[in-house]
């Protein structure tokens, strides 16, 4: 996978952190591709890893690449404008954002939940009373058919969850010039670390 990401960056930009240099439908619509992997801004935003929303950071682009459920099949040997090369197979990611370890959803989209048939819970952050009920269910180990009552304790837990999740997504990484092998390795390590932090935050 490390080789696949770097080869894609080499093919797209010569592994340079630049905006696209050709005119196409994306640039014409004001949504040009940029960065070593040449994500468009809207595609990058759709797959950005929590806390890593810097469009021009190569590290954040690697995380977005890995946050695609179909990342193992996203790149490969192909032909573009008659030239054989290794690149995106479909001009970009075709899967969905991965939420097996949680995350914040703030745009209308289709997602997969309960991956591997593991129970999950969706918290409506704009409906505090319902979120309180769901948090209390999770804390008390109730099944989906039981509705927990509101309490000051569950309200405090929701406030803590919202504050921590907000802190996770507010950070912005530094812009980096190219994708280095260390970026790919660190992206995987960061993914693992974020998963561990999220588990500790949620108490499991």
pLDDT digits (tens, 9 = 90+) for 30-83: 989 999 999 999 999 988 888 888 988 989 999 889 888 878 888 889 888 788
Predicted pLDDT at 182:
66
Task: Give the tokens for residue 107.
Answer: 């745009």
Say if 109 falls within a structural domain.
Answer: no
Together in a domain, 58 and 127:
no
Q: Are strands 83-88 and 75-80 parallel, antiparallel or unpaired?
A: antiparallel
Predicted pLDDT at 41:
92
Predicted pLDDT at 148:
43
Rounded Cα distance between 174 and 134, Å, is 36
Predicted pLDDT at 180:
62
Together in a domain, 55 and 95:
yes
Number of domains in the chain: 2
Say if 110 falls within a structural domain.
Answer: no
Together in a domain, 80 and 44:
yes
Rounded Cα distance between 40 and 55, Å, is 9
pTM over 0.75? The answer is no
Together in a domain, 191 and 126:
no
Determine the structural domain holding residue 80 and report its residue range.
Answer: 2-100+176-199
- Which tens digit of pLDDT belongs to each residue from 141-189? 765 544 444 455 656 666 666 666 555 555 444 444 455 666 666 665 6
Say if 171 falls within a structural domain.
Answer: no
Predicted pLDDT at 143:
54
Say if 183 falls within a structural domain.
Answer: yes
């Amino acid at each position: 996978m490390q080789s696949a990401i770097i080869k894609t960056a080499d093919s797209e930009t010569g592994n340079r952190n630049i905006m696209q240099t050709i005119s196409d439908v994306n640039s014409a619509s004001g949504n040009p591709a940029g960065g070593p992997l040449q994500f468009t801004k809207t595609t990058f935003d759709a797959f950005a890893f929590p806390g890593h929303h810097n469009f021009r950071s190569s590290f954040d682009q690697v995380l977005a690449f890995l946050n695609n459920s179909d990342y193992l099949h996203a790149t490969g040997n192909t032909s573009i404008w008659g030239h054989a090369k290794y690149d995106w197979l479909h001009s970009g990611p075709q899967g969905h954002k991965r939420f097996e370890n949680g995350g914040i959803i703030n745009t209308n989209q289709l997602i997969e939940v309960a991956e591997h048939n593991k129970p999950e819970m969706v918290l409506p952050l704009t409906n505090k009373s319902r979120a309180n009920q769901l948090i209390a269910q999770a804390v008390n180990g109730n099944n989906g058919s039981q509705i927990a009552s509101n309490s000051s304790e569950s309200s405090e837990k929701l406030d803590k969850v919202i504050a921590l999740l907000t802190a996770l997504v507010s950070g912005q990484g530094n812009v980096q010039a190219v994708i280095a092998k260390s970026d790919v390795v660190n992206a995987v390590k960061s993914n693992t670390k974020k998963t561990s932090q999220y588990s500790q935050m949620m108490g499991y």
